[in-house]
């Protein structure tokens, strides 16, 4: 007798650490940069020298408030720092200043796109804390080396409810989060450079069960792809453990990106007692309504709102998504439409198909590819019917971006793109080409629709001047249908 195999689902919750781009560190005045030579950016406060005290950083609080408000968290009237006590050489004071009982935001949720649909996950809370330094165990054979430049830099930590079910959802959430923090201007959001790090709590349970299984925590995952791989691997591992009749032990894991596997970091997690208590060196912070209102007013447009603006202007969804994936692209687009009164639909085609790829290939800003007046002239040419859309996209724009020629009209003329053939001139041309190719006409009429391109090419060649494809195509199709023999 064989038992029916149990089908499991994964339950995943995240703790995401986001490095904030404040000017100074969280509790001291040195600059918030650590791409310097080791231990060059450390004050007495960062090192926790005897007699030093922390001082809260208003920008740390405000940037955290931006995230909390964007995610719809409730903001308490008072927020307070706590100490998390543990010994580690890269933790200078023997405790981390963080938030435990009174975090800066509670509740809230976030909606993102995954698998072509919208998905909403709940936020448990958002809190502020300081980062630790870094330990290096490889550089010296006899000693561990400690680097404190990163110590004391401000983080905001986002803790979600266990609402994710797959690694792909986590991947898509992190993508959306990167986009959000970059919109809010609170972090560069660069996961690969460590600006966003994430701990993934993974458990599995039989489908339909409401009871949570014992979870394992995968620490310090620093890429979306790794998060997806680690979660997928871990869920499978847990399933194998349960299937073999064993039970899951709560473990802290690390993900080995090369092998694609997880392995235990340290055991006995339950024995870690951080002895949280209120940080007596920092007074509670009072967040009054006027402060919250001011932050709300300053709050950036959110990615979903940006999308809605473009869709409203008639921009295609895929194009809108591309433009809105970076706030600076969205801002560029909005200013081109708004300040230069350009039509959104044509502009988005130009930007997404040509200008943006060019900017990315050459690693320059969108606004540095073409001047607003050049773009404006291209669109004017298009609007006047003098240059066809496909010629604009495939010939004129590439030429304009590459050439030093700044006069759009002259360039279009020199490329022979300016339409000098009127509609009334087109019909004889069509007739001439069709009569020269009766066999092809028959083939087309018998279903070989691909021949349309052949006819258009022939007509263009015969004409010897630029023809607007948009005008030509319906006329040509009309003519091909008219010639249909009566049977």
In angstroms, give the least distance from the CB of 90 to another protein.
9
CB of 43 to another protein, least distance (A): 10
Judged by CB under 8 A, the residue of 190, 283, 414, 432 near another protein is: 283
Q: Please state the closest distance from residue 101 (CB atom) to another protein, in A.
A: 10
Residue 268 within binding range of another protein, rule CB under 8 A: no
Does 275 bind another protein (CB under 8 A)? Our answer is yes
Give the span between the Cα atoms of 111 and 118, in whole angstroms: 6
286 binds another protein (CB under 8 A): no
Do 341 and 362 contact (CB within 8 A), yes or no?
no
Measured from the CB atom, is 55 or 122 closer to another protein?
55
Which residue in 159, 242, 282, 415 binds another protein (CB under 8 A)?
282
Q: What minimum distance in Å lies between the beta carbon of 293 and another protein?
A: 24
Query: What number of chain residues touch another protein (CB under 8 A)?
Result: 30
Nearer to another protein, 55 or 440 (CB): 55
Least separation in angstroms between residue 3's CB and another protein is: 40
| Residue 125 · residue 105 · CB < 8 Å | yes
- Is 94 near another protein (CB under 8 A)? yes
Does residue 83 interact with another protein by CB under 8 A? Answer: yes
From residue 241, how far is each of 204, 215, 338 by CA, in Å? 11, 13, 59
CB of 147 to another protein, least distance (A): 12
Site for another protein in 398-417 (CB under 8 A): none
139 is a site residue for another protein (CB under 8 A): no
Instruction: Identify the sign of the CA torsion 191, 193, 196, 197.
Output: positive
Minimum separation from the CB atom of position 266 to another protein (A): 13
If the CB atoms of residues 50 and 450 are measured against another protein, the closer one turns out to be: 50
Q: Which is nearer to another protein, 283 or 373 (CB)?
A: 283
- Tell me how far, at minimum, the Cβ of 67 lies from another protein, in Å: 23
Cβ proximity of 200 and 230 under 8 Å: yes
**What's the closest the beta carbon of residue 143 comes to another protein, in angstroms?**
8
Angle of helix 327-339 relative to helix 317-324, nearest 10 degrees, comes to 110
Stretch that binds another protein, among 156-164, 230-238, 272-280, 356-364 (CB under 8 A): 272-280
Using CB under 8 A as the binding rule, whether residue 308 contacts another protein is answered as: no
**Which two tokens mark 389?**
């859309």
Minimum distance between the CB of residue 273 and another protein, rounded to whole angstroms? Answer: 5
Tell me which stretch binds another protein (CB under 8 A): 91-99, 108-116, 236-244, 354-362.
91-99
Structure token pair of residue 157: 């930590």
Using alpha carbons only, give the angle 113, 118, 120 rounded to the nearest 5 degrees. Answer: 100
Interface residue with another protein, options 89, 385, 438, 457 (CB under 8 A): 89
Per CB under 8 A, contacts with another protein among 22-81 are 44, 47-56
Q: Which of 146, 287, 352, 381: binder of another protein (CB under 8 A)?
A: 146
Q: Is residue 273 close enough to count as binding another protein by CB under 8 A?
A: yes
Q: How far is the CB of 339 from another protein (least distance, A)?
A: 44
6 binds another protein (CB under 8 A): no
Which residue number, 273 or 439, has a Cβ lying nearer to another protein? 273
Question: Which window, 12-20, 213-221, 281-289, 410-418, contacts another protein (CB under 8 A)?
Answer: 281-289
- Decide whether 146 or 186 has the Cβ nearer to another protein: 146
Q: Give the footprint of another protein on this chain (CB under 8 A).
A: 44, 47-56, 83, 85, 87, 89, 92-95, 143-144, 146, 273, 275-277, 280-283
């Amino acid at each position: 007798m064989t038992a029916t195999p149990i089908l499991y689902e994964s339950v995943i919750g995240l703790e995401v650490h986001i490095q904030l781009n404040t000017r100074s560190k969280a509790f001291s005045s040195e600059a918030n940069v650590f791409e310097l030579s080791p231990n060059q950016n450390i004050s007495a406060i960062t090192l926790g020298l005897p007699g030093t005290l922390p001082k809260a950083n208003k920008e740390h609080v405000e940037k955290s408030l931006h995230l909390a408000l964007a995610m719809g968290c409730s903001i308490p009237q008072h927020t307070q720092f706590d100490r998390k006590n543990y010994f580690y050489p890269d933790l200078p004071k023997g405790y981390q200043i963080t938030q435990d009982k009174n975090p800066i935001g509670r509740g809230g949720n976030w909606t993102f796109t995954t698998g072509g649909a919208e998905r909403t996950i709940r936020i448990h809370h958002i809190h502020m804390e300081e980062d630790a330094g870094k330990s290096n165990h490889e550089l010296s054979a006899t000693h561990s080396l400690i680097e404190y430049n990163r110590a004391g830099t401000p983080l905001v930590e986002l803790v979600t409810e266990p609402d994710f079910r797959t690694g792909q959802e986590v991947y898509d959430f992190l993508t959306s989060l990167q986009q959000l923090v970059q919109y809010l201007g609170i972090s560069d959001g660069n996961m690969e450079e460590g600006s966003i790090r994430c701990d993934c709590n993974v458990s599995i349970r039989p489908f339909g069960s409401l009871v949570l299984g014992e979870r394992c925590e995968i620490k310090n995952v620093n890429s979306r792809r790794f998060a997806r791989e680690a979660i997928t691997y871990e869920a499978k591992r847990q399933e194998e453990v349960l299937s073999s009749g064993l039970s899951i032990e709560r473990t802290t894991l690390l993900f080995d990106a090369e092998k694609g596997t997880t392995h235990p970091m340290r055991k006995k997690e339950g024995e870690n007692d951080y002895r949280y208590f209120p940080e007596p060196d920092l007074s509670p912070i009072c967040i009054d309504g006027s402060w919250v209102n001011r932050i709300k007013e300053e709050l950036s447009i959110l990615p979903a709102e940006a999308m809605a603006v473009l869709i409203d202007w008639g921009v295609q969804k895929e194009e809108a998504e591309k433009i809105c994936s970076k706030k600076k692209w969205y801002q560029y687009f909005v200013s081109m439409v708004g300040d230069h009164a350009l039509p959104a639909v044509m502009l988005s085609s130009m930007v997404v198909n040509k200008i943006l790829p060019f900017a990315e290939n050459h690693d320059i800003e969108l606004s540095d590819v073409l001047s607003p007046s050049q773009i404006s002239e291209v669109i004017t040419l298009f609007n006047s019917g003098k240059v066809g859309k496909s010629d604009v996209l495939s010939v004129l724009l590439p030429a304009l971006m590459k050439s030093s020629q700044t006069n759009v009209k002259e360039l279009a003329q020199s490329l022979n793109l300016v339409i000098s053939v009127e509609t009334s001139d087109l019909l004889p041309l069509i007739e001439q080409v069709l009569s020269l190719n009766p066999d092809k006409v028959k083939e087309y009429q018998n279903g070989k629709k691909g021949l349309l391109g052949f006819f258009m090419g022939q007509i263009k060649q015969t004409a010897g001047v630029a023809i607007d494809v948009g005008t030509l195509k319906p006329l040509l199709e009309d003519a091909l249908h008219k010639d249909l023999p009566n049977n």
